[in-house]
Amino acid sequence: MREGIKNFSNVMETKMLLNEHKGGHARLKIDDLMKLLHQEVRELKGAVEDKDYKEVIMECADVANYAMMIADKCIKRSLV
């Protein structure tokens, strides 16, 4: 696995663990996940504008995690 992917996937997993108390994405509809994804993109934009690079990394992981959740739902649907 490429170093960048490995490092970033570790951040993604950390963020997933930190948010585990929220109950996961199985109960959410794709439209709901899209709204949450757009919110995270806005937060990422703010972190970039603030040049808060540590926060940029964390917000990138949030964006990636919501994209993964949407993809996961689509993968499950396409296998049915």
pLDDT, tens digit, for every residue of 19-66?
999 998 999 999 999 999 999 999 999 999 999 999 999 999 999 999
Query: Between the CA of residue 58 and those of 26, 31, 51, what are the distances in Å?
Result: 22, 23, 13
The predicted pLDDT at position 40 comes to 98
The predicted pLDDT at position 7 comes to 97
Residue 23's Cα: distance from chain center in Å?
A: 15
Least confident of 3-7, 9-13, 23-27, 70-74: 23-27
